[in-house]
Chains A and B, each alone.
Chain A
Amino acid sequence: MAVLKKEFHIHKNDFFRAGEASISIKNLLKALGIRPQIIRRVAICGYEGEMNVVMHGGDGKIIVEICPESILLLITDNGSGIPDIPLAMTKGYSTATEKYREMGFGAGMGLPNMKKNADSFAIDSVVGEGTNVRMGFSLTSKKE
């Protein structure tokens, strides 16, 4: 079965380039003719994930696997980890610094948005070691 796998690096505090990986992924999906509605959801999830690594995480990477029926997005980092996952998943909860808030981030909506936009969502984290977010998208999904 044909699977296309790509990996992109994300660097801590590299604001300038945050979003580039998600843009590459988006363009890959467009070339393959994936439906715009699905591309939109993958792009939003990728970008929120990238931003979280840049802002809260450490160095990390984003891996995309494209299969004939589904897309898998895996975002991992070796940052500080999340002590209380249910709390982090709460809408509006954020530990973003003042500096980030001034730039328009830190609404505490990233993780909830990722969960909402993906067809499947899983997060695990170990304090002091890092965080993994795994999201799946079905290519036959009717979700808008």
Chain B
Amino acid sequence: MKKDAPSFCVMFNEDLCIGCGICMRVCPTKAIRIRDDRSFRLLDQCVGCGECQRVCPSGAIQMQPDKPLTIDRKKISVVIVSPVLFSQFPGEIPVDITAGLKRMGYDQVIELSDFLEMFQFAAETFIRKNRQTREAPWPLISPVCPVVIRLIAIRFPGLLSHVLPLKRPVVLLLSDLKQRISRKFGCKPKDIVVDHITPCPSKVMTKHSLSAIERKTIDRAFGINSIYAALFHHMEELETMEIQTFPMDRPDASISGRCLQWGMSGGEIAGMQIDKSMAISGVQETINYLEKIELGMFRNMEYIEFRTCPESCLGGPLTVIDKYLAKSGVSRLIKIFGMGMNLSGTKLRKMYDDGYFFSPVDKIRSELVKTFPKKFLSIQSMQEIDNILEKIRGKNCAVCGAPDCRTFAEDVVRGESDLEECIVLRARKCAEDGKDEKQAGKTKR
């Protein structure tokens, strides 16, 4: 298996590829080209949404971490788990899952409940204040899904000002994580390994992680699917033992309903007291609604939770079990855990006033613009594209290796493809040549 674009973990297996081109057509940023039937090329516009993996009928595309999961017992191993992990073992309660991770060799398991609560508090506060200050335009857009933010940067840069200028929950956790761990275990920060278990391909693409702190602090990210078998095995073994032999840390006991709900579509806004809010999931739906917001629609909405995965992170490409099954299990658990708060409001308010929750948006925006450089077209090239399209009159057959005729024409004008690649033009030319020959034959006779 070869790794195509070094900055991303989209793995493409030429031997499995059947050259159908479905991946190319669903790519929301038109970042895929397939030449000579099966050479797959990923362009810089890849946002890591995972749609290509989802639709590939032959399993040729995988979004994977590039490091194997081995736990070094000589180091202090810490794992940050996505709330979605708790949905992947229906019938199991979160403490059993954390116990399984400890048995695998992790010294500390960190779940995000408190940080989600902090984020929701900060978001709610910002929105309430924004009603007076009008600092940011309505509707505000959730900063949580990194793929949404990249999509906005590439296709809707005019909407970047709508993105809530707050740190994502995991970033709140990371700020002084290594120091805290080294204090707790009495070790040096360099002897700590921080892993992240996630349903989200955008977390395994380390270079494009949204913030410097993630690149700096998280050493390795693994999909839930790549640790599932091992974890399952350890959980099963635990079941046959006396549970008391595995001491449970207090933090594990504080997992809240908010955390469990987080991975569901609407799970972010469910923990916030904002009436004029809505939740949208799926890449195509996300794009449709971003288009509409750009037309000035939904100005009466205050907050929109966008997730590019269908049914939100429970439908993340690196999950294992069916998303609706996961949702059903989680809904049951929420009833047990409730949606209460763990943290003190006074303390949170003080943190908010101290600026603890705010992210350096300007810096992030300029970084995003650098990550996704734009290749604009001139009016002349646009006219050339129209001329080519007029000449082809194609059916978006994608034999040329581009997702549709327009993208092909753009590639041609940019000098990245050759008009000769168009099979429709070639066929028409052949037919005309044939006619000429026939006619020439006729006149001879």
Which residues of A line the B interface, CB within 8 A? 2-4, 19, 22-23, 26, 28, 30-33, 36-37, 39-40, 43-44, 46-48, 66, 68, 104, 113
The 9 closest A-B pairs by CB, nearest first: A33-B376, A36-B158, A47-B295, A2-B379, A44-B296, A4-B379, A23-B291, A40-B158, A43-B295
13 A-B interface contacts by CB (under 8 A): A2-B379, A2-B383, A4-B382, A19-B291, A19-B297, A23-B291, A26-B294, A30-B155, A32-B379, A39-B158, A43-B295, A44-B295, A66-B379
Contacts of B366 in A (CB 8 A): none
- Chain A residues with CB under 8 Å of B346's CB are none
Q: Is the CB of B296 within 8 A of A43?
A: yes
Complex CA gap A123/B254 in Å reads 63
Cβ of B157 within 8 Å of any chain A Cβ, yes or no, is: yes
Give every chain B residue within 8 A of A32 (Cβ-Cβ).
376-379, 382
Cβ–Cβ < 8 Å partners of A47 in chain B: 295-297
Contact partners of B157 in chain A: CB under 8 A? 36
Chain B contacts of A26 at CB under 8 A? Answer: 291, 294-295
B374 within 8 A of A: yes
Name B's interface SS: helix
Give the complex CA separation of A28 and B383 in angstroms. Answer: 11
Q: Which residues of A contact B383 (CB under 8 A)?
A: 2, 4
Interface status of B188 (Cβ within 8 A of chain A): no
Which residues of the other chain, B, contact A31 by a CB distance below 8 angstroms?
376-377, 382
Question: How big is chain B's contact interface, by range?
Answer: 10 to 19
Q: Is the CB of A48 within 8 A of B158?
A: no
Q: Smallest Cβ distance from A41 to chain B, in angstroms?
A: 10
A43 with B382: in contact, given A36-B157, A104-B300 (CB under 8 Å)?
no
Could you tell me the distance in whole angstroms from the C-beta of A143 to the nearest C-beta in chain B?
14
Interface core residue of B292, B296, B297, B377 (most chain A CB under 10 Å): B296
Which of B's residues lie within 8 Å of A, judged by CB? 155, 157-158, 291-292, 294-297, 300, 374, 376-380, 382-383
Which B residues lie within 8 Å of A37 (CB)? 158
CB nearest to B383 among chain A residues = A4
Q: Give the complex CA separation of A37 and B158 in angstroms.
A: 7
**Partner of A2 from B155, B294, B376, B380 at Cβ < 8 Å:** B380
Q: How far is the CB of A103 from chain B (nearest CB, A)?
A: 11
B262 to chain A, nearest CB (A): 30
Check A40–B376 contact: CB distance below 8 A. Answer: no
A40 to B160 CA separation, bound complex (whole angstroms): 12
A3 CA to B382 CA, complexed, in Å: 10
* A19→B377 contact, CB < 8 A: no
Q: Which of B295, B300, B374, B378 has the most CB of A within 10 A?
A: B295
Q: Could you tell me the distance between the alpha carbons of A26 and B158 in the complex, rounded to whole angstroms?
A: 11
Known: A2-B379, A40-B294, A68-B379. 13 other contacts (CB 8 A): A2-B383, A3-B379, A4-B379, A26-B291, A31-B376, A31-B382, A32-B377, A37-B158, A43-B296, A44-B296, A47-B295, A66-B379, A104-B300
Minimum C-beta distance from A128 to chain B (A): 30
Q: Which residues of A contact B377 (CB under 8 A)?
A: 31-33
For residue A30, which residue of chain B has the nearest CB? B155
How far, in whole Å, are A73 and B380 apart by their CA atoms in the complex? 20
CB distance from B72 to the nearest CB of A (A): 47
Cβ–Cβ contact A28 & B155, under 8 A: no
Instruction: List the A residue with the shortest CB-CB distance to B380.
Output: A2
A19 — which chain B residues lie within 8 A by C-beta? 291-292, 295, 297
A3 to B378, CA, bound (A): 11
Q: State the CA gap A44–B299 with chains docked (Å).
A: 12
Q: Roughly how many angstroms separate A28 CA and B295 CA in the complex, as a whole number?
A: 14
